Structure 1
Amino acid sequence: MTNEFAFDYDLLRELTETSGAPGYEDRVRAVVRREFDGIVDEVRTDAMGNVVGTVQGDADYEVAVAAHMDEIGFMVRHVDEDGFLALDALGGWDLRVLKAQRVTVHAEADDLTGVIGSAPPHLLDDDEDERGVEDVHVDLGLPAEEANERVAVGDLVTMEQTTTRVGEHVTGKALDDRVCLFAMLEAAKRVDDPDVTVHFCATVQEELGIRGASALGVDLDPDLAVALDVTVAQDVPAVEKEADYVTELGEGAAVKLKDGSVVTTPKVHRRMRSVAERREIPHQTEILPSGGTDTAGFQNTHGAKPVGAISVPTRYLHTVTESVHGDDVAAAIDLLAAFLDTETGEHDYRL
C-alpha cells in the first residue's frame, strides 16, 4: 500500500478514538447507529445496549454478524483525601503498559484528563512487578477538594490516545475491536438485496466475558453466526515464531479455526477459505491458544449453531499502540462482504 488506504480511514479513526468502556458504550453506539442509517432496513437496541442493523433477505434464513463495541477500561472505585483516583479494571490489562499514560476520566459534568502515576525508578522495590490494578492511581492535577467534587465512584476511565498511520499500519487504542466493528460497517454498505436476512450486530461487554453476544444468541436465534475480532500477530522480535505463531501482519484476513472459547464449524471456515480463494482475497488461518470472542456467544446459546469468524491480525494487543496492516483490514472487509454475498441459505453446515 502506497499513498492511500483502500477504505474510509477517517471513520476508522473516529471509531477507535471514541471512548466506550464495557457497559458504557454510548458514544460508540451513536456512531454505529449513524452509520447504519440508510444502509439497513431496521435498527434496534436492546436492554444491554447491543445494536442490531437488519437487512432483510428473501430466504427464510438468518445470519448474525457480530463485532464488539467495548474497549478495556476502568471504573473509579475510590477518590482519596489527596484527590488521587483508585481504579477497578474493566477487562484484561497488562499492567506493564499503564505507567505514565494519559487517561480520560468520564465524570458526570465533563471529561477530565489525568495521568497514571509512575514512581521514580530509584524508589522502586523488588515487588514492583507484582502490583496490580489496585495499586494504580490517577492524578488529575487538581486540588483534593475539587477532585472529590468533580469525580465520583463509578465514573469511567479510558485511555487517551490518537489513532495515526505508521507506514502501512494503523496504530492507536481500541483497535480491539473497533477495527472489526469498522469492517462490519463497511461490509454492510456493500450488502445489497441479499438472499438471506443479515443482522449486523454491534455488541457490548465482550471484554467482560462475551456477555452481549450471548444475550443476542438467544434474542436473534440465527441460523448462522459470524463474528469479527482481532487476533494476535506475534511477528515481532523476541518472539519464537514457531512456538508462538498465530498470524502475521500483511498476510491477509485471518479465518479462525479455534480460540480459547470456540472451535469454529469446519464447513463454515472451509467455505470462507473457498470464497477467499475464488475472489483472490488475501487470507491466512488462525489458531489462537487462549482468549475468547463473540463467536462463542452464538455457538451453543439457544441451541447448537454453525459459526465462523474472521479476524484482523493485530500487534501489541491491549495496549494504546495496537497496530494493524491496512491491507489486512481491506481483506477482512472484502472477505466478509463476499461471504455474505454468496450465502444463499442452502449451504448445509451440519456435521
Structure 2
Amino acid sequence: MAFDFDFDLLRELTEASGVPGYEDRVRDRVRTVFDGAVDEVRTDEMGNVIGTVEGSGDYEVAVAAHMDEIGFMVKHVTDDGFLKVDALGGWDPRVLRAQRVRVHTQQGDLTGVIGSVPPHTLSEEEREKDDAVEDVVIDLGREPEAVEEVVSVGDLVTMEQSTVKMGDTVTGKALDDRVCLFAMLESARELEDPEATVHFCATVQEEVGLRGAQALGVDVDPDLAIALDVTIASDTAGVAEDKQVTRLGDGAAVKLKDGSVITNPKVTRRLRDVAEAEGIEHQLEVLPSGGTDTAAFQKANGAKPVGAVSIPTRYLHTVTETAHGDDIRSTIDLLTAFLASEDGGHDYSL
C-alpha cells in the first residue's frame, strides 16, 4: 500500500522549480488541479493560491501548505564566467559540493554544477575550513562571454534532481513542502460535501519567514487553521532516539510544537481522536526548532485555533529528501477525515 496515491502528480510537483517569491511553475500546476476539485480558485497579490470548497454551514477552515523550495539568486557573474549566489532559505552548505543545479534565465534553463576543488590540491588549512554558502561557485561550462550573454543578476538557481520511488519511500528534492502540498491537493479532490467551508491554501515564501501565510491569514481570516509541512525523521544509524523526532512508516505526525508555535491542545486532541476513530496510523511530533505556516495563521488576524499535520521526512533541505509512502497516504486520509467531520460545533477555546 506504500504508493496508494497519484505518484505522477507528486513527481511533477517536486521536480518543478519554485524558489521563494518565484513559485510560478508550481502555482500553475496547483491551479490546474484545483480547477477540477474546488468551487472557486483565486490568486492573491503575493502569489498564494486559494482553492475554496463551499460548505453548507458558516464555519470556515483554512488548510495551508507551501509551494516554495529553498534555492539561490545570482548576485554576481565573475570575469571568468562563474556565478556567485545568495541563498533563498536555509541551506546546510555541507550538502552543496559537486551538486548539479538549474539556472533559470530569461532565455531558458541552463544546467550548471557547484564546483568543488579536488582534495589533492588543498592545504591542511583549506581542508579544515567550514563550508559556507557565500563560497559557492557555479560553473556553466561556457566561456565568460557566453555566460554574460544569458545570465543576469537576479536569475534564480534550483537544485537539479529527479523524484523516484526507493523501496517503500519516495526520494528527491523539494519534498519540503511539495509532498504536503500534494497531500493537500489530494484531500481537496477527495473531500465531498463538507459542512464547513474549506480554503485550501498553497502559500508562498514560507522558507524565508512564513511571509505568504502571514498575509493570507488576514485575507482569509478562518475560524480554524490547519497547516501541513514536513518534519524531521532522523531515524537513521547513529542518531539517538530522543533526537529522531519522528520515524518513517509510523504514520502522519500530529504536531504538538515546533520552534514557532504550540498548537491548540483541543485541535491536537481532535486530530488524534479522528485518527483513532478512522484507524489512521499516526504519531506525535515535538520539533525543537524550525517554523511552519501554522504560526502565521495563529496570530495573523487576532488569535486563532491552529493545528498541524506533518509528514516525517529524512534528510531535510537536501536533494535526497525521503518520505514513506504510507505516511503520505495517512496524511491525506487524516486531513480529509478531519475536514469532513468539522461542522463548527467543536469548542477550541481555552
Shift of 1:222: 0.5
Cα offset for 1:123? 2.7
SS at match of 1:277: helix
State how far apart, in whole Å, the 2-side matches of 1:248 and 1:135 are.
34
Aligned mates of 1:184, 1:124 — CA distance in 2: 48
> Secondary structure of 1:180's partner?
helix
Q: Report how far residue 238 of structure 1 moved.
A: 1.5
- Return the alpha-carbon distance in structure 2 between the equivalents of residues 131 and 312 of structure 1: 29
Name the counterpart of 1:238: 238
2:104 pairs with 90, 103, 106, which one?
Answer: 106
Matching of residue 132 in structure 1 with residue 132 in structure 2? yes
Identity %: 70
Counterpart in 2 of 1:97?
95
Q: Which moved more, 1:224-233 or 1:51-60?
A: 51-60
Q: Is the 8 A contact 2:94 2:131 kept in 1?
A: no
What residue number does 1:338 align with? 337
Q: In 2 relative to 1, CA 138–54 (structure 1 residues): closer, same or farther, beyond 3 Å?
A: same
- What residue in structure 1 maps to residue 246 of structure 2? 247
Distance in structure 2 (CA, Å) of the matches to 1:167 and 1:347: 40
Select the residue among 53, 63, 66 that pairs with 1:65: 63
State the distance in 1 between where 2:282 and 2:152 align.
47
Give the deviation of 1:245 after TM superposition: 2.8
TM-score, normalising length from structure 2?
A: 0.98
Q: 2:171 corresponds to which residue?
A: 171
Partner of 2:118: 120
CA contact (8 A) 2:224 2:305 kept: yes
Per-residue displacement from partner, 1:97-125 (whole Å, max 9, x unpaired)?
10000000000110000000001112334
The SS at the match of 2:190 is: coil
Q: CA deviation at 1:130?
A: 2.5
The equivalent of 1:17 in structure 2 is 15
Distance 2:187 2:39 in 1: 15
Q: Distance in 1 between matches of 2:34 and 2:300?
A: 26
Q: Which runs of 4+ in 1 moved over 6 A?
A: none
Q: Find the counterpart in structure 2 of residue 220 from structure 1.
A: 220
**Equivalent residue number for residue 27 of structure 2:** 29
SS where residue 76 of structure 1 aligns?
strand
- Which amino acid is the alignment partner of residue 346 of structure 2? H
> TM-score of the superposition, structure 1-length normalised?
0.98
Distance 1:194 1:38 in 2: 16
Give the root-mean-square deviation of aligned CA atoms: 0.9
Q: Is the counterpart of residue 154 in structure 1 residue 145 in structure 2?
A: no
Deviations 1:214-263 (A, max 9, x none): 00011111100000000000100121113x13000000000000000000
Runs of 5+ unmatched residues, structure 2: none
- Between the two proteins, the alignment pairs up a number of residues equal to 348
Return the alpha-carbon distance in structure 2 between the equivalents of residues 327 and 166 of structure 1: 13
SS of the equivalent of 1:218 reads helix
Give SS of 1:29's match.
helix
2: CA distance, partners of 1:131 / 1:28 = 31
Deviation by residue 1:245-287 (Cα, 9 ceiling, x = unmatched): 3000000000000000000000001000000000000000000
